[in-house]
Amino acid sequence: MIKNEKEYRVTKAAAQKFQDALTNFDERPAAHPGIDPHFIPKMRESIESELEILSDELKTYEQLQRRRRNKLKVAELRSLPLELIRARISAGLSEADLAKRLGLKPQQIHRYEEHDYETASFARILEIAQAIEQAVHERV
């Protein structure tokens, strides 16, 4: 899952490289000396598969940015970390914005999200959820 703008830019650049590789892919065996011709279609499929994964991640992040959610919805406790990240993105908050609301450094929010909030206390998770919900209500 793409969690911030930096990851979005990196993923977008990687997707473009895979797209370029796919566009320039030559199916002729002569273009791949030393490779068994039976593997050449698999090479193309591999590129297509990776491009699809990256494209789906980009699409999901872009949808989260456009969609404004009114509530944090958590069906299972184990989904809480990703829901917090999705809610932050949907609220239009960067990691730095959320950190400022909480009086923390942006790097701390990044570390929490990078490790899916495993290092955050329950009290801190509640503070984060409240800050995100407050941001949502300010936008409405």
Contact predicate 22/51, CB 8 Å: yes
Measured distance CA(95)–CA(75) in Å, rounded: 24
Reference 134, options 98, 103, 85; nearest CA is 98
Instruction: Tell me: do 90 and 129 sit in the same domain.
Output: yes
Of 11-15, 17-21, 69-73, least confident by mean pLDDT is 69-73
Measured distance CA(78)–CA(67) in Å, rounded: 23
Q: State the pTM of this model.
A: 0.80
Give the range of the structural domain holding residue 40, as residue numbers without chain letter. 5-66
Instruction: Tell me: do 93 and 42 sit in the same domain.
Output: no
Within its chain, how far is the Cα of 37 from the centroid?
A: 36
Span 26-85, pLDDT tens digits: 988 889 899 999 999 999 999 999 999 999 999 999 999 988 766 677 778 888 999 999
Instruction: Tell me: do 52 and 34 sit in the same domain.
Output: yes
Residue 47: half-sphere exposure toward Cβ, Cα within 13 Å:
17
Q: Which of 15, 46, 66 is the last residue in one of the domains?
A: 66
Q: Can you say whether the dihedral through the CA atoms of 134, 75, 82, 11 is positive or negative?
A: negative
Over range 103-132, report the average pLDDT: 96
Question: Number of folded domains in the chain?
Answer: 2
